Structures are given as C-alpha cells and as structure tokens.
Amino acid sequence: MSAQELITEHLDLWTSATTHAANGRGKNGKVELTGIQKLRELILELAIRGKLVEQNSDDEPVSVLFDKIEQEKQVQVKAKTIRKPKELPAINAAEYPFPIPANWQYCRLNDIGVWGSGATPRRGNTSYYGGGIPWLKSGELYQDFVNTSEETITDLAIQETSVRMNNPGDVLIAMYGATIGKASILNVPGTTNQAVCACTPWPGISNKFLLLLLKAYRSRFVEMGAGGAQPNISREKIIGTVLGLPPEQEQHRIVQKVDELMALCDRLEQQTSDQLEAHETLVDTLLNTLTQSENATELADNWARLAAHFDTLFTTEQSIDKLKQTILELAVMGRLVEQSPDDDSALSLLEKISSEKKGLIKEGSLKKKRDFAPISEGEKLFTLPAGWEWARLKDVFINIVDCPHSTPKFVESGKTCLDTNSFKAGKIIPSKVRCVSDETFVARNNRLKPEPNDIVFAREGSVGESVVIPEGLECCLGQRVMLFRPSTYTNPHFLRITLSNPLALETLLSMHKGIGAKHVNVSDMRGYVIALPPEQEQDRIVRKVDELMAFCDQLKERLSRTSEIRCQLAEAVVEGALN
C-alpha cells in the first residue's frame, strides 16, 4: 500500500482520533488532533526507512557519494578549513535502527556533515551583544526555517569567543530541556548558544532530507537525553547516531514526497479544525435555546429537540462540559424543574431565615451585619419563576466569614485544612488536602468553626470553586477561601450550585479587585444577588442536577473509551505500515 493509499484508506481514523488536553485546538483549547499527528510521524518514519518512494536502479550508488564526501573532506582538512574529523567505531549490526533498502547504506550522522555546538559570549561584555549577527537559542527552533533571532552578537564576539559561525543552509538541532531534538534549517549566516548543535552537510547530502530525518529521530533523541535533572543530549551522542542514507537523487524525491504529504496533512488538519469549530458553534446555538426558554414547558420542548441529536452533538469533551454549564444555568434560573403551587414561597423562606438569624443575634452567637441598598432592577438578571425571590447572600446565609489572612503551617498528619487546591467541581480532592496541628486548627477556627453542610468558597485564584463540607469531616480554612453557613431551612447543595454556576462566575469575575491576583472579598459576596426558590423546589433541583450530571459523566466516559480505541487503532495502523 502506498503512502497516499495509507492516508486515504484510513482517512476517517486519522481525522477522528482525537485526545483532550489542557492546551490544544478549539475555543476551549482542549482537542488535539492525535490521528493527524500520528500520520505526520508515520510519513517521516516511512521516509527514513525507504518506504515512501520507489528506489531507482539508475540512482548513483551511495558508495560513490561517500567517496566524493571523503575527497571533499581531505581537501578541506588540507586547506585547514576544518580539523581532521574524529574517527568513530565501525557500525555493528546491533546498532542498525531498522532494515533499509539494498541501495541504501548505514552510516553515522558524523559521516554526513561537519557538526559543532555553539557558545554564549560573556554576558558582562556589552561589546559582544547587539550586533548584526543572529544568535539563536534552542527555544527559537520551532519552524523549519529560521531567519532571525531574539538576540544578536557582534563581529568582536566571533573573533574573541568560541562561538561557531554557521552558514545559510546549515541544519540546527536543540540539545537541552524540553526542546531536545527540535530542528531547523538556518536561512542566514548566524550563530547559536551551547544548547544548539549545527551541521554543515557535505555536498550530496540534502539539508532538507537531514531536517526530516532529525524530525523523525526526535523521540529517539528525547529517549537518549532522559535520566538527568535536565534532559540533554551531547554533540557526541548526536554524531554517533546511526541512520540509513539513500542515494542523493532519492533524497530529493523523498523530500518532495514528504512536502506533498505534509501539505495534505495540513489540509486535513484545517478541515478537521473547521468542522470542530462549526460543531462548537452549533452546540452553543442549541444550548442557548435552552437558557432562553421562558418556562419549564418550553424548555422540555427544546430539550426534546436537543435529545434527538445527542449522538451527533455531544461528541467532544468540551461540548459535554458546555452541556453541564447549561444545566447549572437552567437550575439557578428556575427552568430545570416545574414549579409547584403546593410549595411554600421563597418570601416565606426568607422570613424564616431572618427569624433564625435574629434568634442567634439575640443569644449573642451572631453579630448583626450592615445593611445594603435595596436590590436594583439592574441586579435582576432574568425574569423570576412564580414563587421565587431575588435576595442578597447576606439574607440567605446565616453567616459569611473570611479565612485568616496568613499561611498555615502544614504538618505531615493532623487536622484537615481546606484551601483552594483541596476541591474542584464540588468535590474534595483527597490527594490535595493538607494537615495542620491541633494548635493551628484552633487558631484558624477563631472566627467560625466549619461544620457539615457549610460551603467553602474560593475567593482568589480559582474564584467560584466551592464544596459542601460532608458529614464527619472536621476541618479549618486554609488561604484564599471563605466560609458560608446556610440556614437550616435551605439546601446547601443548591446554594453551592448558585454560588458556582456560570452566571455567578461571570458576575464574580467582574468584581475582581486590584492589579494583583484576581479575587472577591466578603463584602462583595454578602451583597451579591441570587434568585432564591422555595425550599421544596431547591431539593427537586438538586436531585435533577445530580441525575443530569451523572448522565453527562456517562457520556464523557463513553467518549473517552471511544477516543482511546481510535488512538489505539491509529497506533496499530502505524505499526502495521512500518512492519
């Protein structure tokens, strides 16, 4: 099967094999086109194994090419243009990286060019910097061809230091850190620091072929550099690396074919990205019909239309995340469950909470807080369902307190301390929870000791994340959080949803103060306005949210399994093509 057929026969697989990561494509930056990346790697691997283009018996033998290289080498050594190259051990069969065609020849990278690493002129000598000579660092090798550099050096630096002047057409490869194995062709005369090695190829060695070979070998170089505190490879490891070298004419045919196939990959990638973007737009549009529903009946109709196309709509992790956000929005807007005429009103609920607080103030266990202005029309974000009321958080919660403004001293074992790292998406992360001593625990609970059903809320950093303290957990507050104590008449899980839903986060983010770390303060939160449903409806909303979130998690799990299978199939196709 030709490379072209390999692409077209498995087109669906290359374009559908995706993974989800923190950084990637799409508006949410979470989709990586794994299949197409695997295809690119396969093309390079086929190229360097002699499986990409046909061999031609009319090509000049590689042995003749090496004779020419040896003659050129002797001329340059005699002219003292270069030093006599170091002789490396003969290649034994155990070093062969893979089988190669009969008219190819195994050699070391040392045999196909003159290699040299760069240097850093002394930083204290300002006369070495700011000249007209590019001075490249490894992080700048992110394109196939490089023309400019962030820093430049002077002719004096070339004269007085060990910096190597490289020629246009030389091939550069990064040797240190995360950039190991990245390679580029230098388009202009230039230099590099010591983290980059440069090769001036001998006549008959295509620099573009060398570039694609180094790209194909990148994973091998990364493996060579593993083990130290900072991964790195040396010039000696590079020049000792064994490869298969084709005749000069075939090198050019391979480069041409790789360019052609990579352009095809570019088109596939663009088409797939466009499809993903269009899919996201469609999901956004249809989910908006849910949030714009006027009542639960209209919502049910819109949901039915959406549900009919679930299999085609919610096929990416970010689309499922958007569905979750929409569910939370609907929940706090009163459009997720039907209102019941048998429910007590939210107004009577607020009166109960007020009476509860007055009793606590009277007995001295709660201090009276300052009043806020009446709720303005601008603070009312949508039309309320029947039985709901707008209310400030200070009137919904019994108490809202800030954490101590100090860093707790953590210990190996002791009492639980919850900070912003300890919880996410309404759940405590056991591996992130840290402990404090009994003494620290008491000191940090001086304002208000957290109790089960209290809500811990992130006020800085991951603003809006929150968790309901579960039964049986004794804890204190770490840094950058605040504590909300609900009334006994409210459902803490509904109130947590209200604090952390997308509508709230949008408003809370606009409250961020100062130019430092973004945060909200206790006063902001006490005055924040929410839509409050009757007590009984809060319970129905929480049950429906739990049900729908479980459904979304099932969708995600199924998607994850499907993605894993597709990626495994892509791997299998790659292995089959190479073997």
Please say if the pLDDT value at position 516 is more than 70: no
pTM over 0.75: no
- For the stretch 59-86, pLDDT in tens is 999 999 999 999 999 999 999 888 888 8
Least confident of 141-150, 178-187, 221-230: 221-230
Q: What is the mean pLDDT of residues 428-456?
A: 95
Per-residue model confidence (pLDDT) at position 226: 74
What percent of the chain is predicted at pLDDT more than 70?
93
Q: What is the mean pLDDT of residues 538-555?
A: 93
Show Cβ contacts of residue 24 under 8 Å, excluding neighbours closer than 6 positions.
30, 31, 32
What the block records as the tokens of 249 is 């004419």
Angle (CA) 314 501 22, round 5°: 55
What the block records as the tokens of 244 is 């298969």
Q: What is the mean pLDDT of residues 95-110?
A: 95
pLDDT band for position 28 (cuts 50, 70, 90): very low
Superfamily of domain 346-533: DNA methylase specificity domains (3.90.220.20)
Q: What is the mean pLDDT of residues 12-25?
A: 61
Q: CB under 8 Å, gap of 24 or more: what pairs does 85-88 form?
A: 85/110, 85/114, 86/110, 88/239, 88/240
- For 384, the 3-state DSSP assignment is coil
Q: What is the mean pLDDT of residues 52-62?
A: 93
Q: What is the mean pLDDT of residues 85-102?
A: 92
Please say if the pLDDT value at position 89 is more than 60: yes
Please say if the pLDDT value at position 296 is more than 70: no
Sign of torsion over alpha carbons 194, 196, 202, 203: negative
Maximum Cα–Cα distance across the chain: 102
> SS3 sequence, 426-495?
CEECHHHCEEECHHHHHHHCCCCCCCCCCEEEECECCCCCEEECCCCCCEEECCCEEEEEECCCCCHHHH
What the block records as the tokens of 157 is 């630096």
Show Cβ contacts of residue 332 under 8 Å, excluding neighbours closer than 6 positions.
497, 498, 501, 503, 504, 530, 531
Please say if the pLDDT value at position 514 is more than 60: no
Per-residue model confidence (pLDDT) at position 478: 94
Average pLDDT, the chain: 89
Residues forming a β-bridge with 530? 391
Q: What is the mean pLDDT of residues 275-281?
A: 84
Superfamily of domain 60-246: DNA methylase specificity domains (3.90.220.20)
Give the burial string for 414-449 (b: 16+ CB within 10 Å, else e). ebbbbbbbbbeeeebeeeebbbbeeebbeebbeebe
Per-residue model confidence (pLDDT) at position 20: 60
The CA distance from 376 to 381, in Å, is 10
* Contact present, 36 and 167 (Cβ < 8 Å): no
What percent of the chain is predicted at pLDDT more than 90?
63
> What Å distances lie between residue 426 and 10, 112, 120, 466, CA to CA?
42, 59, 51, 6
Residue 21 parent element (H or E) = strand 19-25
Show Cβ contacts of residue 243 under 8 Å, excluding neighbours closer than 6 positions.
48, 97, 106, 107, 108, 109, 213, 217
Sign of torsion over alpha carbons 188, 189, 192, 198: positive
Pairing type for strands 466-468 and 475-477 reads unpaired
- For the stretch 253-272, pLDDT in tens is 999 999 999 998 899 889 88
> SS3 sequence, 74-111?
HHHHHCCCCCCCCCCCCCCHHHCCCCCCCCCEEEEHHH
The CA distance from 239 to 88, in Å, is 9
Per-residue model confidence (pLDDT) at position 239: 95
Q: State the Rg of the chain over Cα.
A: 33
Least confident of 20-24, 91-95, 162-166, 468-472: 20-24
> What Å distances lie between residue 240 and 77, 180, 244, 274, 397, CA to CA?
21, 16, 13, 44, 70
- Pinpoint the residues of the chain covered by CATH 3.90.220.20: 60-246, 346-533
Please say if the pLDDT value at position 160 is more than 70: yes
